[in-house]
């Protein structure tokens, strides 16, 4: 008999307060399901970066309806993080890897979020379906022993 892996759907308000509440819910869910602190921190990082990008860049106006859902699934070797939003189409998997600047003069404000996501995940997948962006990030669980 197979059991479905633990999963949690978090509908969130698309603002900084909504993100903080969603982060706390995600942390509690992952902790309750035995996810180690290293993996938990990586999930929080990719979640925060992905959702912050949607809040900052995904919508043209304040009047536009804004819906963001976070779907977490805990598997034995990884955690799946799915961010679904109704913002502008944007495929983060197509953006070229950002090179780290060699000097402070070359550094740009922002732009490192996707790099941090790439460095914290083993897989990223994107699709646009029914007017919504679906960005799936796979974070490996730390293997003890």
Domains with residue ranges and CATH for the chain: 7-140 (3.30.565.10)
The answer to whether 139 and 42 are in contact (CB under 8 A) is yes
Q: Region 48-63: what's the mean pLDDT?
A: 86
Q: What span, in angstroms and rounded, lies between the C-alpha atoms of 36 and 30?
A: 8
Q: Which has the closest alpha carbon to 83: 3, 139, 38, 4?
A: 139
Q: What span, in angstroms and rounded, lies between the C-alpha atoms of 137 and 63?
A: 29
Q: What is the pLDDT of residue 101?
A: 54
Lowest mean pLDDT among 33-42, 46-55, 96-105, 118-127: 96-105
Quote the DSSP letter at residue 23: H
Q: What is the pLDDT of residue 108?
A: 52
**CA distances (Å), origin 39, targets 9, 27, 42, 53, 123:** 19, 11, 5, 21, 15
pLDDT above 80: residue 99: no
Q: What is the pLDDT of residue 94?
A: 83
Q: Region 77-99: what's the mean pLDDT?
A: 85
Partners of 138 in the β-ladder? 80, 123
Where is mean pLDDT largest: 3-7, 33-37, 58-62?
33-37
Interhelix angle for 16-32 vs 37-57, to 10°? 160
User: What does pTM read for this prediction?
Assistant: 0.86
For 1-145, where are the alpha helices, taking DSSP H only? 16-32, 37-57, 113-120
Q: What is the pLDDT of residue 123?
A: 96
pLDDT above 50: residue 97: no
Q: Region 25-52: what's the mean pLDDT?
A: 96
Residue 112's pLDDT band (cuts 50, 70, 90): confident
Of residues 60 and 1, the one with the higher pLDDT is 60
């Amino acid at each position: 008999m197979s059991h479905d892996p633990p999963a949690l759907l978090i509908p969130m308000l698309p603002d900084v307060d909504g993100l903080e509440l969603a982060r706390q819910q995600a942390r509690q869910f992952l902790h309750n399901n035995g996810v180690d602190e290293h993996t938990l921190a990586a999930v929080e990082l990719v979640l925060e970066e992905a959702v912050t990008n949607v809040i900052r860049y995904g919508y043209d106006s304040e009047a536009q309806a804004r819906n963001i859902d976070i779907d977490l699934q805990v598997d034995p070797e990884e955690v799946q993080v799915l961010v679904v939003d109704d913002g502008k189409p944007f495929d983060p998997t197509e953006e070229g890897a950002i090179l780290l600047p060699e000097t402070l003069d070359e550094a740009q404000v922002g732009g490192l979020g996707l790099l941090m996501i790439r460095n914290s995940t083993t897989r990223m997948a994107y699709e646009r379906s029914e007017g919504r962006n679906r960005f799936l990030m796979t974070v490996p669980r730390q293997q003890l022993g």
